[in-house]
C-alpha cells in the first residue's frame, strides 16, 4: 500500500486512520420518524466525528416500506463505510450512543424509530457475541441493506455469505425506491 493511500483517510480529530491497522466497517442506517433524511445526515456527521475513525463513503438514500408493526411511515435507509480502529464492541457502544442522542427509544421491537444503526460487517470478522453478531444476521434478506451496500462496494465478499450480486438476485424487491437526495460526507455543518 502506498504512503499516500495510508495518509488519505483522516478522522475528524485529524489523525490518520491507516488502512493497515484499521477495520473496514459497513454500518446500516435507518429512520422513519422526525424528518428521516435529516436524521441520516445528522448520524453521518456523528459517524465522521467518532474517534480513530474515518467516514469513507455513504450510499444513496432509499425509501423503503417498513417491516414490522403495521401503520408505520416508510423508512429511509442508507449504508456508510468506515475505516476504524475502534474494536467491535466499542463501535457498537458508540453507535448506540448516537442513536440515543438522536432520540431513539427502545420500545416496540421493529417499531418506528428516529434512528437505527447496525454494524453490517466488521472487516472479515464473524462474531457471535451476546450483544453483537456480524455479519448482521438479517442482512442477506434485506434489499434496503444489500442495494446500498452494493452501490458503494460492488465487489465486496461478506464473510460466510455469497457475493453481493448473488444475494441481491435472491432477495425480494419489497418496494425499495432510490430517492433524489444525497449525503455529502464532507458536510460538517
Ligand atoms: P435493533 O433494535 O435492531 O437496534 O437491535 C439492537 C440490539 O441488537 C442491541 O441490543 C444490540 O446489542 C444487538 N445487536 C446484535 N448484533 C448487532 C449488530 N450487528 N449491529 C447492531 N446491533 C446488534
Does 187 participate in catalysis according to the annotation? no
Q: Judge if the upstream peptide bond of residue 64 is cis by omega within 30 degrees of 0.
A: no
More confident of the two residues 71 and 8:
71
Cell 424487491 belongs to: 173
Residues 6 or more apart whose CB falls under 8 angstroms from that of 82 comprise: 24, 25, 26, 27, 47, 50, 53, 54, 55, 56
Q: Whose CA is nearest to atom 16 of ligand 1?
A: 132
Q: Is the CB of 126 under 6 A from ligand 1?
A: no
pLDDT, one tens digit per residue, over 105-160 is 666 666 778 999 999 999 999 999 999 999 999 999 999 999 999 999 999 999 99
pLDDT, one tens digit per residue, over 40-68 is 999 999 999 999 999 999 999 999 998 87
**pLDDT at residue 32, rounded to an integer:** 93
**Which strand (E) or helix (H) includes residue 133?**
strand 133-134
Q: What is the mean pLDDT of the chain?
A: 89
Q: What is the mean pLDDT of residues 22-36?
A: 95
**pLDDT at residue 18, rounded to an integer:** 65
Residue boundaries of the structural domains of the chain: 4-178
Write down the number of H helices and E strands in the chain.
Answer: 5, 8
Q: Which fold has domain 4-178?
A: Alpha-Beta Plaits (3.30.70)
Amino acid at each position: 500500500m502506498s504512503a499516500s493511500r495510508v495518509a488519505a483517510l483522516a478522522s475528524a480529530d485529524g489523525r490518520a486512520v491507516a488502512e493497515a491497522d484499521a477495520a473496514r466497517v459497513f454500518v446500516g442506517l435507518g429512520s422513519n420518524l422526525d424528518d428521516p433524511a435529516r436524521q441520516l445526515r445528522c448520524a453521518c456527521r456523528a459517524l465522521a466525528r467518532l474517534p480513530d475513525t474515518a467516514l469513507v463513503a455513504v450510499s444513496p438514500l432509499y425509501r423503503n416500506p417498513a417491516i414490522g408493526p403495521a401503520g408505520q411511515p416508510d423508512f429511509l435507509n442508507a449504508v456508510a463505510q468506515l475505516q476504524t480502529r475502534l474494536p467491535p464492541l466499542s463501535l457498537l457502544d458508540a453507535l448506540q450512543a448516537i442513536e440515543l442522542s438522536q432520540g431513539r427509544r427502545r420500545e416496540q421491537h421493529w417499531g418506528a424509530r428516529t434512528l437505527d444503526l447496525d454494524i453490517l460487517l466488521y472487516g472479515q470478522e464473524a462474531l457471535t457475541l451476546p450483544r453483537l453478531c456480524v455479519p448482521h444476521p438479517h442482512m442477506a434478506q434485506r434489499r434496503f441493506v444489500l442495494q446500498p451496500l452494493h452501490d458503494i462496494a460492488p465487489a465486496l465478499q461478506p464473510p460466510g455469505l455469497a457475493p453481493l450480486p448473488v444475494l441481491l438476485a435472491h432477495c425480494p424487491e419489497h418496494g425499495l425506491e432510490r430517492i433524489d437526495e444525497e449525503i455529502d460526507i464532507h458536510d460538517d455543518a
